[in-house]
Structure formats: structure tokens, C-alpha cells
């Protein structure tokens, strides 16, 4: 039985080249980077190199900050709660704008801020799953402290009009944050071109290690630390830096955002995704949620009428294929997929989405095997589905 991992939006394998760069910092160069002796100072060159890679990867300016955090969730919490402290508790701004399809790290933080008296507007997406930039413009008001919109959706792969939204926010004098966790390494991310004040990301989404993330802060943008303590990261994020992970994230960024790497994603990875997707769409009553345009090259969210997502995952897992019904951060929640609800899917279809997300380490042989397994699973599950069995005759073609 072949093993095929198609859940790369949940996490990715560490690139072996990244692992090799990290290894010396576990047992050889283990000094605390804040120490003055040679054991600590010996870590600094690789830390500087890693930061340079991060700056280059998102086109940050030298005067801007990139803060090393534990993950994107921490970075997002830092931004939103800093805005709450700086502009809401200690200012006259009381309003945040976001979308209905953000990652739980944004949504849950906004829900918390609502309990503290913050007004949050959750903007809907259109029929393609995209937030239209003009919608943001409509809802910005004098009291708006922040607009926070993901760069790319973790479930559909849909890429949002970040440059247009950034232009609108800059004209209105409103800070703009984008969660780029699902964008880096898949599409170009340029914080200067898109007028970004805050950008968040996580290394394990682009073949770096788990447990380390980044927070970009444009020069002049306020930031109250979420974690207080020592003076690490210029006093903006206390705690001894995990040098191995920082080096790993820098190298992962370097490898993922090179011109050659992005071209490979756009061409090779997208071709494998399309091959998988088109094979599934040959079956009746299967659709790509949000359509095929304007997506990251590796992602497809497919609705399969008559097949519950959780049942599909069970069948795939038995044959060595890993996929997802949506965000891994909400995988224990058996409620209907909120992204599909945001599209206006009916109650049955909202439970039928299966996400396949590829990486540069997938092969055509793996995709061929996955297609066989997926088609077989659909046939089996539809045969025992009460909702599909009583569907109109047009559904029942043996599939």
C-alpha cells in the first residue's frame, strides 16, 4: 500500500535541506544567543542569515521588524490584542473588520475581543469565496482600528485581493493585517507592494519546523507585546529564541520563495492538483467549492454529494491517503464546515467537503494511486448512503 500525504495545508514535512541547517543547533551550537561568551555568540551568524531570508521572502524593508514567535496563532493574537490595547482601550477606535472565512486564530480572537466591548464586522464572501475589496471600503468608518483579511484561504485556496484592500486601508488611515500562513511558498507575498502593516505566518506551512512563526510589523505601526519578560526581539516578544527553529524557518522561507520554487508550485504542483481534481470531477455531482480560478496552486476543496467528509477520510486513511475536511485547527468540531456555510451551501452539502492540498514533494505516481483510492471510496460510500440512495434517478449511475 502506497502512502500519499495530501494534507499540506494542515502541515508540511520539513524539507531535508532545512533539517540539515537546523541540526548543528541542537547539540553543537547550543549556547543561549543572549549570552556574551563564544557559545552564545556562535549562534548569531546563522540567526542573522535566517532573518535576512525572512525579510527577502516577503520583501520587508530594513527598517521594518520581523518578530520570531511560537506560531502564526501567537502572531495573530499579538496583532489583534495589541490593536485592542493601543487603539481601543487607550484610544478612540472601537471597531475591527474581518471576514466570515478567516482561520480560527483570527475568528476566536475577535470573538474574545467582542466580550471586551470591541465591535467586530464579519464581512461575507462572494459566490467564488472571495472578499471583494469594495466591500471593505463600504464598512470602514471613523472608529475602525484594524482590517484583518487572510491572504489565501486555508480550505479553498482562494487568493484574496490583498493589494486592493491594502490600498483602501492606506487611503482611509486604517491599519491592515493579513494572515499569510497559507500564501507563503505558494504565491508571491510582498508587504511593501500591498501596503501591509502587520503580516503573520508559520514555518510548518512551507516545509519548515513546527513551533515557530513570524510577525512582520511595518515601521511606525504600534505593537504592545503579548509576552513580557526579557528584551529579546527588541522587547517585543520575550523568551529565549529557539535558534534551531529560527534557522529552520529562515531556510524554509528561502527555499520556498525563490523564483524557481514559486514557478515549480505554479506549474508542476498545480498540474498534479488539476489531474487529481479533474479525475474526481468525472464523477457525477462533484464540484470544486468556489470554482477553479484564483487559487493557490496546491489546493482543492471538493464537495461530493452523498458522501460525508468524515466517512471519506476514514476510507482514504485505510488506504494510506491523508486528506482533510477543512482546517486541522478545527478538526474535532463536527459542525458543518463554516467556509461552506459562508458560500450558502445547503445543510447536506456543508458536510461533504473534502480538501486535498499538495506539496512539491508529491509525485505523479502518488496522484495516480490517490485517484484510484478516492474513486473507489466514493462508489462504496454512495452505495450505502441513505441520502444518495433516494436521490433522483440522474444520481444513480452506479456511483
SS3 sequence of 258-315: CHHHHHHHHHHHHHHHHHHHHHHHCCCCEEECCCCCCECCCEEEEEECCCCHHHHHHH
User: Which residue numbers in the chain have pLDDT < 50?
Assistant: 330-331, 334, 390, 392-399
C-alpha cell at 290: 468556489
Question: Phi and psi (nearest 5°) for 217?
Answer: -130, 115
Cβ distance 324 to 299 under 8 Å? no
C-alpha cell at 133: 475589496
| Any domain includes 262 | no
Q: Give the DSSP H or E segment for 178.
A: strand 175-179
User: Among residues 256, 283, 302, which one ends one of the domains?
Assistant: 256
Q: How many CB atoms lie within 10 A of CB 239?
A: 14
- The verdict on pTM exceeding 0.95 is no
User: Among residues 224, 256, 288, which one ends one of the domains?
Assistant: 256
| Any domain includes 263 | no
Alpha-carbon span 218 to 315, nearest angstrom = 46
Question: Of residues 110, 169, 194, 329, which has the active-site annotation?
Answer: 329
C-alpha cell at 362: 508529491
Specify which residues 122 forms β-bridges with. 98
Domain that holds residue 91: 16-256
Does 244 share its domain with 275?
no
Q: Give the DSSP H or E segment for 14.
A: none
CATH number at residue 217: 3.40.640.10
| Any domain includes 261 | no
Which residue, 372, 395, 370, 375, is CA-closest to 385? 395
pLDDT reported for residue 90: 84
pLDDT reported for residue 346: 54
Alpha-carbon span 258 to 205, nearest angstrom = 16
pLDDT reported for residue 338: 59
| Any domain includes 78 | yes
Does 208 share its domain with 299?
no
Does 233 share its domain with 113?
yes
pLDDT reported for residue 393: 47
C-alpha cell at 178: 493579513
Which residue, 359, 370, 250, is CA-closest to 12? 359
Does 300 share its domain with 325?
yes
Does 110 share its domain with 57?
yes
Does 69 share its domain with 113?
yes
pLDDT reported for residue 394: 45
CATH number at residue 310: 3.90.1150.10
Alpha-carbon span 203 to 222, nearest angstrom = 24
Does 56 share its domain with 106?
yes
Secondary structure letter of residue 239 according to DSSP:
S
Does 25 share its domain with 123?
yes
Cβ distance 4 to 358 under 8 Å? no
Cβ distance 240 to 33 under 8 Å? yes
Alpha-carbon span 57 to 183, nearest angstrom = 12
Sheet with strand 286-288: strands edge to edge: 286-288, 299-304, 353-357
User: Among residues 191, 222, 256, which one ends one of the domains?
Assistant: 256
Does 210 share its domain with 312?
no
What does the DSSP assignment read for 359-397? Answer: -TT--HHHHHHHHHHHHHHHHHHHHT-HHHHTS-GGG-S
Average pLDDT, the chain: 91
- Mapped onto helix, strand or coil, the DSSP state of residue 318 is helix
Does 243 share its domain with 297?
no
Does 152 share its domain with 199?
yes
pLDDT, one tens digit per residue, over 148-164 is 999 999 999 999 999 99
Catalytic-residue membership of 73: no
Number of domains comprising the chain: 2
Does 343 share its domain with 298?
yes
Alpha-carbon span 28 to 254, nearest angstrom = 23
| Any domain includes 330 | yes
Amino acid at each position: 500500500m502506497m502512502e500519499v500525504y495530501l494534507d499540506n495545508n494542515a502541515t508540511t514535512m520539513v524539507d531535508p535541506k532545512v533539517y540539515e541547517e537546523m541540526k548543528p543547533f541542537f547539540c553543537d551550537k547550543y549556547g543561549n544567543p543572549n549570552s556574551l561568551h563564544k557559545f552564545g555568540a556562535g549562534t548569531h551568524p546563522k540567526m542573522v542569515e535566517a532573518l535576512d531570508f525572512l525579510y527577502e521572502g516577503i520583501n520587508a524593508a530594513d527598517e521594518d521588524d520581523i518578530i520570531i514567535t511560537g506560531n502564526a496563532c501567537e502572531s495573530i493574537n499579538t496583532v489583534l490584542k495589541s490593536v485592542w490595547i493601543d487603539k481601543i482601550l487607550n484610544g478612540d477606535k472601537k471597531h475591527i473588520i474581518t471576514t466570515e472565512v478567516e482561520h480560527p486564530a483570527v475568528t476566536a480572537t475577535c470573538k474574545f475581543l467582542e466580550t471586551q466591548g470591541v465591535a467586530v464586522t464579519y464581512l461575507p464572501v462572494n459566490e467564488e469565496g472571495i472578499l471583494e475589496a469594495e466591500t471593505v471600503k463600504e464598512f470602514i468608518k471613523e472608529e475602525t482600528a484594524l482590517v484583518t483579511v487572510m491572504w489565501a484561504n486555508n480550505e479553498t485556496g482562494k487568493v484574496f485581493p490583498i493589494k486592493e484592500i491594502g490600498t483602501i486601508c492606506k487611503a482611509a488611515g486604517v491599519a491592515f493585517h493579513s494572515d499569510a500562513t497559507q500564501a507563503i511558498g505558494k504565491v508571491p507575498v510582498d508587504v511593501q507592494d500591498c501596503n501591509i502593516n502587520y503580516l503573520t505566518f508559520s514555518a510548518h506551512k512551507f516545509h519548515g519546523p513546527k513551533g515557530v512563526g513570524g510577525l512582520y510589523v511595518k515601521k511606525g505601526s504600534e505593537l504592545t507585546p503579548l509576552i513580557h519578560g526579557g528584551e529579546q526581539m527588541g522587547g517585543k516578544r520575550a523568551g529565549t529564541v529557539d535558534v534551531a527553529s529560527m534557522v529552520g524557518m529562515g531556510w524554509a522561507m528561502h527555499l520556498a520563495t525563490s523564483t524557481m520554487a514559486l514557478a515549480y508550485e505554479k506549474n508542476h504542483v498545480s498540474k498534479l492538483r488539476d489531474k487529481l481534481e479533474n479525475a474526481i470531477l468525472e464523477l457525477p455531482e462533484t464540484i470544486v467549492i468556489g470554482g477553479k480560478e484564483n487559487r493557490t496552486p496546491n489546493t482543492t476543496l471538493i464537495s461530493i454529494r452523498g458522501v460525508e467528509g468524515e466517512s471519506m477520510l476514514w476510507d482514504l486513511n485505510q488506504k494510506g491517503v491523508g486528506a482533510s475536511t477543512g482546517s486541522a485547527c478545527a478538526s474535532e468540531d463536527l459542525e458543518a464546515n463554516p467556509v461552506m456555510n459562508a458560500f450558502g451551501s445547503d445543510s447536506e452539502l456543508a458536510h461533504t467537503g473534502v480538501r486535498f492540498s499538495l506539496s512539491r514533494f508529491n509525485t505523479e505516481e502518488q496522484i495516480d494511486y490517490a485517484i484510484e483510492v478516492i474513486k473507489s471510496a466514493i462508489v462504496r460510500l454512495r452505495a450505502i448512503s441513505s441520502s444518495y440512495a433516494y436521490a433522483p434517478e440522474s444520481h444513480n449511475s452506479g456511483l
